[in-house]
């Protein structure tokens, strides 16, 4: 069977501020150039969820910069919903520079929680379409049916 599109449901938009802290860079290492973007604040808002970056919890994006201008992501953040649930989110992905100078980012976020109200997040497979913003990044996240 060949699909022309993926059957998905929108679950939310993740926005993260990553430009407030200077990024250390390790140039030309054996596995590429590495940079760490500290996530200082963020939100995840959708039809069934309203969360912010958990205060005081480390969060970041460990980037590998490729020679062709693309980059690989390795992200971990902790969210807290407006009704008190804790949710851990991790994802890897790839970013590329578009002809107009913008960045296109594709990821596959994974959600983990022990809170029964959000247990549905533990069993979904998601894909995200992201872009750079003046403050950091934003992703529209979809659950694949």
> What is the CATH classification number for the domain harbouring 26?
2.40.160.20
Our count of domains for the chain comes to 1
From CA 52, how far away is CA 54, in angstroms rounded? Answer: 6
Give residue 40's domain range. Answer: 8-129
Q: Chunked in runs of 10, what are the mean pLDDT values of the chain (145 residues)?
A: 92 96 93 94 98 94 93 97 98 93 94 98 98 95 97
Rg of the chain's alpha carbons, rounded to an integer?
Answer: 16
Position 2 in a domain: no
Res 55: pLDDT = 86
Res 101: pLDDT = 81
Position 145 in a domain: no
Position 117 in a domain: yes
The alpha carbon torsion through 90, 91, 96, 98 (nearest 10 deg) reads -70
Res 139: pLDDT = 98
């Amino acid at each position: 069977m060949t699909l022309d599109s993926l059957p998905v449901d929108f679950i939310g938009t993740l926005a993260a501020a990553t430009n407030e802290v200077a990024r250390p860079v390790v140039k030309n290492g054996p596995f590429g150039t590495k940079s760490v973007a500290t996530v200082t604040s963020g939100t995840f808002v959708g039809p069934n969820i309203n969360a912010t970056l958990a205060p005081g919890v480390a969060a970041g994006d460990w980037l590998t910069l490729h020679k062709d201008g693309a980059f690989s992501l390795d992200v971990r953040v902790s969210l807290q919903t407006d009704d008190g649930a804790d949710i851990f989110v991790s994802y890897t992905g790839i970013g590329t520079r578009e002809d107009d100078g913008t960045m296109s980012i594709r990821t596959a976020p994974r959600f983990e929680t022990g809170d029964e109200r959000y247990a549905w997040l533990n069993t979904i497979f998601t894909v995200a379409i992201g872009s750079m913003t003046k403050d950091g990044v934003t992703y529209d996240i979809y659950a694949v049916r």
